[in-house]
Amino acid sequence: MNVKYTGEASILAIIMMLFGIAILLANERSLKSRKNYTTVTGKSGQISKINLGNIGKYSIAIMLIILTFFTSIFPIISFAFDYYNFNL
């Protein structure tokens, strides 16, 4: 956020921390009853490979590249352009 909006930025940071704490507490409360662990054995632990072929392999790769672009690369570029426009 811009230097002019330090009060709003601090309030937003506090709200984000409260949401994070609430999610952690909900996770801890939901996992409290499941404290015993079991070992996976038998056929369910074996790996079964699926042949996707060339089309399936490339389509999954393209889908993951697009997902990576829109979730990590595009926001950084967007913030850079936004920062550049505010400083003109």
Tell me whether residue 44 is in a domain: no
The domain tally of the chain equals: 2
Amino acid found at 88: L
| Distance separating alpha carbons of residues 41 and 65, to the nearest angstrom | 35
Q: Looking at residue 16, what is its pLDDT?
A: 92
Tell me whether residue 1 is in a domain: yes
Q: Looking at residue 64, what is its pLDDT?
A: 94
Tell me whether residue 21 is in a domain: yes
| Distance separating alpha carbons of residues 53 and 56, to the nearest angstrom | 5
Q: Cα–Cα–Cα angle for 23, 28, 29, nearest 5°?
A: 100
pLDDT profile of the chain (88 residues), mean per 10: 73 91 86 64 68 88 93 87 71
Q: Looking at residue 3, what is its pLDDT?
A: 67
Tell me whether residue 26 is in a domain: yes
Domain limits at 85?
A: 52-88
